[in-house]
Chain A
Amino acid sequence: MTPTRKLIAKIGSVGTALALGTAGLAIFLIIWTLASARLGNAVLLPSPLSVFETYGELISDGSLAGDVRASLVRVIAGFLMAASVAVPLALILAYSRILRGLVMPLIALIRPIPPIAWIPLAILWMGLGDPPSYFITSVAAFFPIFLNAFAGGTSLQQEHVNAARSLGAGPGALLVKVMLPSALPMIVTGSRIGLGQAWMAVVTAELIAAQSGLGYMIQVSRLSLETSRVLVGMTVIGLLGALMIGTLSIIERRVIVPWNYPR
């Protein structure tokens, strides 16, 4: 196929996808509008129009941006804190049998505790405000990152180590040029999952323990029966979550582990 034909074909397939997606969304909005008109109860089901209007309100008075920023900061900070502990710990445990024996049972016991169950302790230890929410997002991100990094560490092939050593690699080069890259695909997978978990946890944490952010905004809106705002909060959470994970995926494929995704 000539390059022009290829371009047209590509535009065609992207165009079709867009058209279908838009049509689906439009149908959904129509059904929603009819349902809310039928119900006639703005607290139970506001119309899409009122939700859009609320979007406008919250964007123009800057409060949406402020809440988005607050939630994002909590997620990213918590995620980074978790990763900076989980990755080294996982790799150390992958290579040390004794430490593994000591630490893994603890991790197996703590892991099933959902982040939301940590909230009472977090508030007791750190008071109200931001610190407990950082703690919660860290806890949420920690376990997926740790477990995947550990799997990445144990997946190190002896032959790669042997090959590196017979090519003159010392312990430093072994760690940085062999062990770390070998574990990297799984570390990134764990990070992607951890980021998603942290995002879900931040909303939960904010419902209870924060005074800003999207989860907080949903809770306060609920108390004043502002269901439109609740829906704005929910949709923004969904959109941002998808955006973050999507971005991380792209970075994963292009920058971090390109060898796993040859083009």
Chain B
Amino acid sequence: MDNKALILGISAFVAAIPVAIWIPLFFKQSGISKITLAILFFIGILTAPALLGIQYLWGIYPQFDVATLIETSITKVSVMYIVLFVFFGMLEEVIKDFAVRIIDKKTLAVKTVNDALRLSILAALGFSFAENIYYLSQLWTSLSAGELFGVYIFRSGFTMCAHMIFSGIFGYYFGISKFSIDITNQQKLVGKEDFIAKFISNFTNKPLAEGYKEKTILKGLLIAVTLHAIFNYMLQYNVLIPVILFVIGGFLFLRFLLKRKVGHLVLLTDISEKKRSMFAKKDEDVVLELLGMWFKDKRYVDVLHICERLLERDPDNNVVKLFKAKATDQLEGGNAYQKILATVLKDKDDLSTRDRSVIDKYLEKKTS
């Protein structure tokens, strides 16, 4: 075996260690098939060389070399770096997202918002795994063992985590955009006006849900690219403490997103298995309107109860599921209702007594 292949092999081996640590943290109970995960990880790996390939093509066709154009046309170095990092951040995020979209298109793996988030994290892991192999093998001869170890630890811990954060956030918004019809319907019922979605919908002459979809994807891309650019910028100027805090904060944010009830909702169901509503459409619309009104009035306990009963009649209604999850998220976040919620969800057999007591409590509170 020649020296280059050996270095590449060792680099790949050590780069695989953090991947083996991160994957169980996010995919232990994901419910996504292992084959799908393996394929996505592999596609994620290929996205890094794809980016290198683009840069290689710029060498052949310099007229398309955007990076050189930025470097030569912006004289102020700090501004040039910002633009450069935004551009590369965008390129990386779009490429990683592309991998998730391919998998979702082929396997319909994204059934919840969290699925999209997790799959994006996996694509990012594949991407940074390949990147780590590249950097480690490149720096093998030029750095001392100690320096190389430092680079390895930093890249495995912080850079890899940073990639997961950027992609995870973009994935989260991709997930939301995928279920834009249900989410737009729910938002309509609570009277939320989304001006940007409305503008995009008018501009593109598409339904409002499509406008919301496009807006959400753009929002996710914008946040991910901005964070990516800030991260790269800080790295460029070696401000390590903020980088570390930035990554820890981002990681906690990802964990928070993954724990939200809304993210766990299974919004993609097989149409052939979809159960018909046992409630007349006109009557159901009245109740949905009421849900919107009471959600807006922050009557989350009532919303939760109505949703429970409504789902008994119409188990596959995604708008009701969204209301329920959002009300639960709100209740878990608020102190006043926390105890009530604990009793609400404890005993399912005692539904009527429980309902009565909770609504009575609510009315007492309201009238006092």
Tell me if chain B binds chain A: no
Chain A residues with CB under 8 Å of chain B are none
Q: List residues of chain B with CB under 8 Å of any chain A CB.
A: none
